[in-house]
Amino acid sequence: MDTSLLLPIIDLSSPGKISTAKLIRQACLEHGFFYVKNHGISEELMEGVFKESKGFFNLPLEEKMPLLRRDLLGYTPLYAEKLDPSLSSRGDSKESFYFGSLEGVLAQRYPNQWPSEGILPSWRQTMETYYKNVL
């Protein structure tokens, strides 16, 4: 019995933005996730983001809790979110960290929370660079 699944691959170098958006929607509805290729973000930056993320999530809980999510942004602890309440009474088995706009009205209304530079000296710079490259 073949139990392998095909992972949807979305190519962002495709010139058709509408058709790409439709493929993303379809992948989300049918699979819940997808792989992105040709996104234009350097391997070096991606490695930096993973390194910083690992550093943050490996911190003791008491060092992450001051960044607890407020106004949509910040740290969300393990089991604190339940994205599909019909599946379980317990929260999701994941931690997350949300950050958003770096400037403008949204940044003023929903300010980002960042770990102190004393704890993670490169976190903020790396994540801001990533944010700018993703957009």
Q: 116 and 55 in one domain? A: yes
Q: Which domain holds residue 46?
A: 41-134
d(CA 122, CA 134) in angstroms, rounded, equals: 18
Q: 29 and 46 in one domain? A: no
Task: Determine if the pTM surpasses 0.85.
Answer: no
d(CA 51, CA 34) in angstroms, rounded, equals: 22
Q: 84 and 26 in one domain? A: no
Q: 106 and 64 in one domain? A: yes
Q: 97 and 78 in one domain? A: yes
Instruction: Report the number of secondary-structure helices (H) and strands (E) in the chain.
Output: 5, 4
Would you write out the chain's pLDDT as a tens digit for each of its 135 residues? 566 678 999 999 988 899 999 999 999 999 988 999 999 999 999 999 999 999 999 999 999 999 999 888 999 999 888 887 777 778 888 999 999 999 999 999 999 999 999 999 999 999 999 999 988
Q: 29 and 47 in one domain? A: no
Q: 47 and 18 in one domain? A: no
